């Protein structure tokens, strides 16, 4: 089983980055070039929920959609890390890797206005011709930086005031 990790610093409090990440209505507004739509087709974001992501034109030549089952959510007080772990059930990634499990996390860095956003994939290549998910890592980290841009823009403020 392969493992790949990545992280990026965001000028966003961990709680706000988490709110954007887990809330489909906010997440799909972050950058439509990366993510065209996000919806829970079953459940409400707790473990066992099924989330469908439809990727935008900036990445859909690589992956156009991903159906995921949420395996684990950590968001209680005192945990220090807000995270969601999911397993890909359908989509292009499932055709390259099986299993393919991803964990997104947000943890404070000591400065309450910043956080470290983490991405971790655990995967099994289905073919020796398939590369490790380096491109998925790059897209995920760029998307998390887009969460920062969205938060710092007036889009986040106006979305939460209505």
Domains along the chain?
2-161 (3.30.530.20)
How distant is the alpha carbon of residue 153 from its chain centre?
20
Q: Is 128 helix (H, G, I), strand (E, B) or coil?
A: coil
Q: Are 93 and 108 in contact (CB under 8 A)?
A: no
Tens-of-pLDDT digits for all 162 residues of the chain? Answer: 999 999 999 999 999 999 999 999 999 999 999 999 999 999 999 999 999 999 999 888 889 999 999 999 998 666 678 999 999 999 999 999 999 999 999 998 777 889 999 999 999 999 999 999 999 999 999 999 999 999 998 666 655 544
Q: What is the pTM of this model?
A: 0.90
The contacts of residue 50 (CB under 8 Å, 6+ apart) are 40, 41, 42, 43, 67, 68, 69, 70, 89
Q: Is 160 helix (H, G, I), strand (E, B) or coil?
A: helix
């Amino acid at each position: 089983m392969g493992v790949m990790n990545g992280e990026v610093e965001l000028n966003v409090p961990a709680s706000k980055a988490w709110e954007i990440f887990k809330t489909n209505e906010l997440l799909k507004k972050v950058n439509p070039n990366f993510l065209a739509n996000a919806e829970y087709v079953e459940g409400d974001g707790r473990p066992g929920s099924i989330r469908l992501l439809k990727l935008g034109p900036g990445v859909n030549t690589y992956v156009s959609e991903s159906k995921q089952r949420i395996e684990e959510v950590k968001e209680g007080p005192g945990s220090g890390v807000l995270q969601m772990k999911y397993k890909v059930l359908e989509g292009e990634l499932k055709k390259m890797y099986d299993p393919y499990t991803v964990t997104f996390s947000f943890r404070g860095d000591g400065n309450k206005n910043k956080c470290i956003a983490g991405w971790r994939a655990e995967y099994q290549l289905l073919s020796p011709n398939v590369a490790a998910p380096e491109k998925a890592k790059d897209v995920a980290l760029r998307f998390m930086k887009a969460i920062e841009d969205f938060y710092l823009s007036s889009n986040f403020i106006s979305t939460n005031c209505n």
